Chains A and B, each alone.
Chain A
Amino acid sequence: MEDMTHADRIMSTQHDSKISAKGVQVYYGDNHAIKDVDVEIDDKTVTAFIGPSGCGKSTFLRCINRMNDTIDVARVTGDIRIDGEDIYDPKVDPVQLRAKVGMVFQKPNPFPKSIYDNVAYGPKIHGLARNKADLDEIVEKSLRKAALWTEAKDRLESPGTGLSGGQQQRLCIARAIATAPEVLLMDEPCSALDPIATAQVEELIDELRQSFSVVIVTHSMQQAARVSQKTAFFHLGNLVEYDDTDKIFTNPQDPRTESYISGRIG
């Protein structure tokens, strides 16, 4: 059964995209925040969402793991599928969805617990580890993937909040990937970090592409150009242009995209 779905997944990635959104509309009360967005996001690629503040890129990102559900006034319509499954189907439990679609937030937000507990929390609540040894392994693997293992291995029991900003963000990434998600959403993960920490996280994102489909929201066009293969430009709630990153930055089709990347709007 497990193999079947895995095989299906591989099949589907060969033919279809990982995430497919059609006609997505988001309303915050009376505010129409996302207007009819269609997008296909590929597996094992980094997709960047760029655009000026308030253009809806974070809002759209939060639709993909249904974090908008926690906002009372938010209403999402349209169709978002992961591997062909409608994630807004009434039968879908958002809790299960979020184990599959990890998220890293703008500000590093480790739990006020030890480094170990931060990473182990997700696997624990989802029952991914049968015993302590399993859990230790997951924690080590996740921290290694997040390039934090060498710094953290001797202080696993010290509080996660005691790390530096960049380390905290990498801890949050480790926490997100510990539940073995298929998609990793990153909401401006470097906006609170200094250039050196940013470079580390960017390098990490590039490595994560081997295992996940990564969607990253960023304010920095340089960052989008550095880390992503595909870029989507949002403006005033519309998806203006979505193409290969190279193409967006060298040969944008839409005049709005052009003026944004050349710094005239934003």
Chain B
Amino acid sequence: MKTSLLATDARTKKRNAAEARFKAYGLSAIVAAMLALAILLTSVLTNGLSSFQQTFITLPIELLEERVDKKGNRDPAEMAKTTTIGYAPLLRGAMAAEVERQGLTTELSDKDLGDMISKEAAATVRNRVLANPDLVGQTVTFDLLAAGRIDGYFKGRVTLETAALDGNTSPEALSIAQALADAGVIETKFNWNFFIAPDASVQRPEAAGLGVAILGSLYMMLVVLFLALPIGVASSIYLEEFAPKNRITDIIEVNISNLAAVPSIVYGILGLAIFINFMEFNQSSPLVGGLVLTLMTLPTIIISTRAALKSVPPSIRDAALGVGASKMQSVFHHVLPLAAPGILTGTIIGLAQALGETAPLLLIGMVAFVREYPAAYTPEAGLFGEASTALPVQVFNWTQRSDPAFVERASGAIITLLVFLLIMNAVAIYLRRRFERRW
């Protein structure tokens, strides 16, 4: 029977239907993935964006000499004997005076009013006075952190209803805060502190920042970059271009592939045993963290570098050898430049993976609560040896704390981490484009 091209036969119909179905599966998979991503980003952003804002109270504080400098000789060593507890009455008084100046009446005690200011504020004032003893006796205007609950009120986390059930604040305090905000005494500003300040204790979420974590992560990335990249690339070049193909190289190859699949926490145990127990580096230090992450990242870099080297056509090697280039010249003049985009991409993906890694760091003590910038973050003390923390570990740390204000902090830290990852990926793409332009 003669068939017409205008009529689709049953077989073709079936084939087309199968193709359409397959496309639909693919499309729905993409939609599901995008949806998951959207949900993730929305939840992180709604919880975390508020951490980039912080509520401040502007107060003129009279730095009474009898409180601050009991001996009256402006000697910082003597003045340091007055602890933050000694400063608390000054803040309390200033707060009460401000409320009165605004013409507000309240049943709250001076202590309750003082509690509207962060516990961190006394330290802020004290540090400023110790740094500049001439301020004693004057009235100085300070921008002080508001307490976590007051901050939460302006961010919508704390309401009059929840405050009624809360031992740490009261509806009266919130209405005073609202009145002060209307008068411009309480303001919400961009929170630079979040990126600069070190971590703070459970009682003062408003003061907690990512400064030490960012620095710790940065130092670890430097260690990883300067160890993993040269070691990884050099070993890949050797294995791919120079090593004889025999049993030993086969075994090495299989082992590298296996190492890439080893759970990262195992590297943490290894790091604990070797770098801390045996080599006795400081625990929690970016040096140890960086070394552990280097071990973890090496297989990734080696595998991607070897793939990049393999993808360089052999005709290029032949061409170079054919004009009398040595093996090394053919690799460094021709093969490596062509493989560079792939190597860079692999390295940055490895670094990004290392940046977000938490598990091995927990084992080497980077989960430590670091209240102060490590003293050794000064050039002369050696940058990498002091206790520090890292971005993902800081997230882990904050999510374990009871105060709901830390949910906001943790989400803010996740956003910061994601931004760093995005920047690294953007750099990878930029570098790849740039190197590829050299045909």
Q: Which residue of B lies closest to A113 (CB)?
A: B439
Given contacts A72-B245, A159-B439, A161-B439, contact A109 B323 (CB under 8 A): no
The segment from A75-83, A121-129, A216-224, A235-243 found at the interface with B is A121-129
Q: Mark B309-344, 1 if CB is under 8 A from A, else 0.
A: 000010111111111111001000110001000000
Contact B318 A109 (CB under 8 A): yes
Residues of A contacting B333 in the complex (Cβ-Cβ under 8 angstroms): 121, 125
Contact B319 A111 (CB under 8 A): yes
The reply on B438 being an interface residue by CB < 8 A is yes
Residues of A contacting B316 in the complex (Cβ-Cβ under 8 angstroms): 109, 111-112
The reply on B244 being an interface residue by CB < 8 A is yes
Query: Min CB distance, A172 to chain B, in Å?
Result: 7
B245, B334, B439: residue with the most chain A Cβ atoms closer than 10 Å: B439
Q: Which residue of B lies closest to A99 (CB)?
A: B324
**C-alpha gap A126/B321 in the complex (Å):** 12
**C-alpha gap A26/B325 in the complex (Å):** 24
The tally of residues in A whose CB lies under 8 Å from a CB in B reads 32
Query: Min CB distance, A76 to chain B, in Å?
Result: 16
Tell me the A169-184 residues at the B interface (CB within 8 Å): 172, 175-176, 178-179
Contact A112 B338 (CB under 8 A): yes
**C-alpha gap A104/B320 in the complex (Å):** 11
The reply on A65 being an interface residue by CB < 8 A is yes
**C-alpha gap A41/B326 in the complex (Å):** 27
Residues of A contacting B315 in the complex (Cβ-Cβ under 8 angstroms): 105, 107, 109
Query: Can you name 22 A-B pairs with beta carbons within 8 Å?
Result: A65-B322, A70-B318, A95-B326, A96-B324, A98-B321, A98-B322, A98-B324, A99-B323, A103-B318, A103-B322, A105-B319, A105-B322, A111-B320, A111-B334, A112-B338, A113-B439, A122-B323, A122-B324, A125-B323, A172-B319, A175-B323, A176-B322
Residues of A within 8 A of B (CB): 65, 67, 70, 72, 95-100, 102-105, 107, 109-113, 121-122, 125-126, 159, 161-162, 172, 175-176, 178-179
18 more A-B residue pairs beyond the given contacts A70-B317, A112-B438, with a C-beta to C-beta distance below 8 A: A67-B318, A67-B321, A70-B321, A72-B245, A98-B323, A98-B324, A102-B322, A107-B315, A109-B313, A109-B319, A121-B320, A121-B333, A122-B325, A125-B333, A126-B324, A175-B319, A176-B323, A178-B323
